[in-house]
Amino acid sequence: MQAQPLSRTSLHEQLLMFGYMALSRRNSKHVVDCVNKGVSASLLEQSLEASDVFVTSRGNARAGTKVIFEVIYTGELRHDAESNDIRYTIPSSIPPRYGMTPDDIGIFSTLNKAIAIRVAVVFQSRNECLIPQIQTPSNPNSVNLGRTSTAYKANRGSTTLSLDVATLNRDFIVIENIKNGDILKVLLEAHATIANQRALMTTLVPRFDATSTYIFTMSLEDHQEALAASLAKANLVPGSAAGLISEGFRPTTKLDISFGGKRVELGTFFRSGECKQAPIIAFAAETDAPENTSYSFILTDPDAPTPDDPKFAFWRHWVLSGLRPHGIDAAATSSELTAYLGPGPKDDSKPHRYLFLLYREPERLSLSKEDVGGEEFVQRRSFKPAEFAERYGLRLVGVNWMYCAGDGWKE
């Protein structure tokens, strides 16, 4: 079985010797035979007493040959609770996880006293995470901030320990202070072959604020695909909302809606009691929109009074004008053309679908309440958002939607 070597022997003639792994004790005898014949040979053996202990040896190295056994140690970067920094430790000894250390491994007593040890630790963090300090409380050694080679970068650093002996008399500890290292980071990765399958990975760093609300958003391209699929599945487009949202519509910004901290996510189910207060609206600026672009917003019900008999569609629940892109609450920048009236399906009605529509306004547009219509209960019936948008030159740029049922509705 061919495999990457677990150890590598380098000679001063730039000769690299690579080996192979085999589940057999014949390798040991083969190396011994080679050594007895005067041939240079190396052996990596797994201990029978402890499966995670390996011993490497080298035979018949010519006089003056420089032999380097390279060992790669992988350890966990732990959080230092006292300083809120990152702690890296190279232990002076590593007890085997499975079994006992073999008695015949007594290398410390036979080491050449002239051999010295050198440990170099190189740090590199994300660009926004600067490294202002590196501490080595266990051993005095040199520290370089901002450098791993010659170029200076504030997110890099290195430290080097040089000893005139071949063993560590204590654990080698490095504590690295990283500015902004406690900021939550998120990675959304799409599956390479399965459509609409994604994995969300987060760095839950120590001491992050667990009381805060963290909002993870997908890319605009992913949102476009998810929106089209959800509208089709709910029979909205094509379907009852086809007059408002054209087939093939692709939003140019993601419209985020939340009621009391609960987010609307393309068909999230709500009870009417959860929607008594007006929701929070948030969206980012469009990439192709002028700097001072304003927006209109409409919340409407295509299923009034019931999904089986939508004779009062589209019911006008809320209309705003003059919104500006905002990541927290865009409604705070707007003027209200129709006061908010929360969804109120009857308990004997199937859940209604509610549409949140965001339109880009033409330059210098000025709308008043009279342009929309009255706010009395019956005056909200049979609103025509498509005609309203066409009359005032509004362009649809963002859509979200949800289901809502009465508090007493049962499936």
- The more confidently predicted of residues 11 and 301 is 301
Beta strands in 93-138 (DSSP E): 117-124, 133-135
Share of the chain above pLDDT 70, in %: 69
Q: Which of 248, 316, 253 is nearest to 281 (CA)?
A: 253
pLDDT digit string, tens, across residues 262-272 = 999 999 999 99
Q: SS3 helix, strand, coil % of the chain, rounded to 5?
A: 10, 35, 55
Q: For 84-93, 309-318, 375-384, which range has the lowest pLDDT when averaged over its residues? A: 84-93
CATH code that applies to domain 220-405: 3.90.280.10
Mean pLDDT for 231-248 is 92
Break the chain into its structural domains and give their ranges.
9-69, 78-177, 220-405
Full-model pTM: 0.53
Other C-beta atoms closer than 10 Å to the C-beta of 42 total: 22
- Looking at every residue in the chain, the average pLDDT score rounds to 78
Q: How far apart are CA 138 and CA 88, in angstroms?
A: 11
23-49 pLDDT, tens digit per residue, is: 455 566 777 787 788 777 777 777 766
